[in-house]
Chain A
Amino acid sequence: MDQYKVTAGEINRLLKSQAEKSRLIIPIEEGEQVELKEFRENDNPSLIVDSFRPYDPLKTFLMSPFEEVATFPEKMSEIEAPNLTLFGFKACSTNHIRLLDEIMLDDEWPDVFYRKRRENLFIISCDCVEVRDTCFCTEVGLKPYPTTGNFDLNISHLNDQFIITVGSEEGHRALAEASLNLQEISDEIRENLQEQRQEITERVKNQNDDYGIDEKIHEPVRENRDAGVFAEKAEDCVECGGCNLVCSSCYCFYLADREVGEEAFRRFRVWDSCQYNAYARLAGDETPRPMLMQRIRHRIAHKFDYLKESFDYYGCVGCGRCISACPADIDIRELLQGVQK
């Protein structure tokens, strides 16, 4: 992948150029969390390059939490999906666009709403600089910088320099359109970047040492279904579903119809959580997972066994959003640790 060196001013120019042809969303620190907002001209680019990952998962922009997807009997018109640039998401977020694509863009019945947004999405991701104690991407086989594609441009902040990595043809085009002053990078800079990335990676690794999560965590997850940790965590869990809703990888939803007159309705696709008792419920009120312990186990098994079997990667990117969101302080790493016992 091509890499160039630019100044902070050039990044500002890139953002202005993107803002001219698309909606541009950037992160901003609000108290402890990083929120997302529309870009304004005087925003300081170095701050947003270095910020922690946004609180909201990236999927919010591809399949919104509550969205009209059909009307009856008259069909709804095709949706508008204006060009959108997302700036400042980290590798944990961009990594799992591959999973969302796999699910939502299958050949037979692609989700047309997702597809339209996906086609018009431009991603400028940034290397992680800040590591918080909820971060554990290294424990699920990933890195705090992009390795799996799914970005158009990525920015790494190295001392007082910025390095742009181009991840797609659209990325090249955007650089050309912004007429950025791109400088070749030297081998020395390349090495320094590698060192910096290595250092951040080590920090994430080291802070997770105590959990001792096995590289092949899918094996104990499959074999140790009776692990006591599921029942243990079920005592604390309040079934809010927050872990699923903020998850970078979770994609579950249900279709809810709202009556709008005689034999007419509007249909909405609404995010759902497998932690709710009604999630898998059948007609007649039977459910295959009546106990919360079973539902917690299902969440872990789906992420670390079933998706691994289907796609050869975990349904978890180690972003730690579920840990921050949980009102009962349930840490998914403790669940995995417990499964290994």
Chain B
Amino acid sequence: MNPYQPVPAELVEIIEESPTITTYRLSPEKPIPFATGQFVELCVPGVGEAPFTPSSSPLVKEEMEISIMHVGEVTNHLKEKTQVGDVLGVRGPYGEGYPLEEFKGKDVYIAGGGVGLAPLRSLIYALLADIDSYKNVRVKFGARNPEAIIYKDEVEKWLKGDELELQLTVDSAEDYPDWDGEEGVVTTIMEDPDADIESGVSVVCGPPIMMKFATLKLLDMGYDPDQIYLSMEKNMSCGVGKCGHCGIGPYYVCKHGPVMTYDKLEDYDEVFD
């Protein structure tokens, strides 16, 4: 099979999540089953490709959702020129996702920021589908402001339900008088005396600066580097460990990641740059 060949995928729905983030629901010509945390290359014909971890449940095979922050050439083109019915390209899935088998029986402590909730939503779906297999699932999520919180319906549902413990915070609620939740960056709500740190696992996904400080916070809380699962983001062109761009030390994020434990990365610079 040609690893550089995308599969045509019809765009079936566009969901505005926040002023800067949109979810695209795609129906690939043939199903592209993925494990939660793996990524795909989404291709806008003639414009280019970019890597994304699907935000939908890995249990849904026929369709996939990809949540995108509009910051680059491909993503801005998606926002400005793409409509329902357009045909995009998808190839993958690539890399290593979250090792759910290793999470079983353990406390799962998840820290997310901004668009980082996209891969985490997929992970949360996967955890909820088999929630009795995990001890406690705690999710700490931070957004820039109340308007920037994505997946508002799901978030609402998770807050009400008792299957997982979700706590939200916003960096600033200055212009949002209705916000009655926490204010401050996500690390300010990352304290849990009840969390079983010793035999637990932690997961971090978000913008690089958030990942850096959340990782430091987790280390501070007592997690060992090999208990901290990071969703790494680097420039990934081929997706299959050949083109070189996403290298960190001896690893290619596309092949050995994107989900990688911090112990593999801590000795290399540029991890969070």
A253 touches B50 (CB 8 A): no
Q: B273: which A residues are within 8 A, CB to CB?
A: 286, 288-289
Q: A256: which B residues are within 8 A, CB to CB?
A: 48
Is B165 close to A, CB under 8 A? Answer: no
Q: A305: which B residues are within 8 A, CB to CB?
A: 249-250
B2 touches A112 (CB 8 A): yes
Measured CB to CB, the nearest residue on chain B to A283 is B72
Task: From the candidates A111, A281, A310, name the one contacting B242 in the complex (CB within 8 A).
Answer: A111
Is A32 close to B, CB under 8 A? Answer: no
Q: A252-B244, A253-B243 are in contact. Are A283 and B8 (CB under 8 A)?
A: no
What per-residue 1/0 map shows which CB atoms of A217-258 lie under 8 Å from chain B?
000000001000000000000000000000000011111111
Q: How far is the CA of A284 from the CA of B50 in the complex (A)?
A: 12
- Smallest beta-carbon distance B72→chain A, Å: 3
Q: How far is the CA of A288 from the CA of B235 in the complex (A)?
A: 10
Q: How far is the CA of A255 from the CA of B3 in the complex (A)?
A: 12
Is A104 close to B, CB under 8 A? Answer: yes
A225 touches B245 (CB 8 A): no
Q: How far is the CA of A104 from the CA of B4 in the complex (A)?
A: 13
B270 touches A289 (CB 8 A): yes
Task: From the candidates B8, B87, B245, name the one contacting A252 in the complex (CB within 8 A).
Answer: B245
In A272-309, the 8 Å CB interface with B consists of 272, 274, 279-284, 286, 288-289, 294, 298, 302, 305-307, 309
Is A75 close to B, CB under 8 A? Answer: yes
Q: A106-B241, A306-B247 are in contact. Are A282 and B234 (CB under 8 A)?
A: yes
Interface centre among B45, B50, B234 (most CB of A within 10 A): B45
Q: A265-B45, A282-B235 are in contact. Are A72 and B241 (CB under 8 A)?
A: no
Instruction: Give the number of residues in B that approach A within 8 Å (Cβ atoms).
Output: 43
Q: A73-B8, A251-B244, A288-B273 are in contact. Are A112 and B234 (CB under 8 A)?
A: no
Q: How far is the CA of A310 from the CA of B255 in the complex (A)?
A: 13
Assign chain A's interface to a size class: 35 or more
Q: How far is the CA of A218 from the CA of B255 in the complex (A)?
A: 24
A272 touches B245 (CB 8 A): yes
Interface centre among B5, B49, B74, B87 (most CB of A within 10 A): B5
Q: B38: which A residues are within 8 A, CB to CB?
A: none
Q: How far is the CA of A156 from the CA of B57 in the complex (A)?
A: 61
Task: From the candidates B73, B89, B234, name the one contacting A72 in the complex (CB within 8 A).
Answer: B89
Q: How far is the CA of A162 from the CA of B153 in the complex (A)?
A: 78
In B200-253, the 8 Å CB interface with A consists of 208, 233-235, 237-238, 240-247, 249-250
Known: A274-B244, A288-B270. 6 other contacts (CB 8 A): A103-B241, A108-B240, A254-B243, A255-B4, A257-B48, A279-B245
Sampled A-B contacts (28; CB under 8 Å):
A70-B5, A70-B6, A72-B6, A72-B8, A72-B89, A73-B8, A106-B240, A106-B255, A109-B3, A110-B3, A112-B1, A112-B3, A225-B269, A251-B242, A251-B244, A254-B237, A257-B46, A263-B45, A267-B4, A272-B244, A274-B244, A280-B235, A286-B273, A288-B270, A305-B250, A306-B250, A309-B250, A310-B250
